[in-house]
Amino acid sequence: MVTYFDACEILEMLSEASVKVFLDGGWGVDALIGRETRIH
């Protein structure tokens, strides 16, 4: 599973590259809330 740290690092890299990101479920949301919300 992607960790909170991993997700933040990915989001930071995308932000630095001026890439807009929208999290609408999946691993990104799971990582930021710290638990798996559904089986992947």
The answer for residues whose C-beta is within 8 angstroms of residue 4's C-beta and 6 or more apart is: 31, 32, 34
Interatomic CA distance for residues 27 and 40, integer angstroms: 8
pLDDT of amino acid 29: 86
The whole-number pLDDT of residue 40 equals: 63
Residue 17 pLDDT: 98
Quickly list DSSP for 1-40: ---HHHHHHHHHHHHHTT------STHHHHHHHTS-SS--
Residue 28 phi, psi (nearest 5): -60, -45
Domain boundaries defined on the chain: 4-33
| Per-residue pLDDT tens over the stretch 1-40 | 788 888 889 999 999 999 999 888 788 888 888 888 887 6
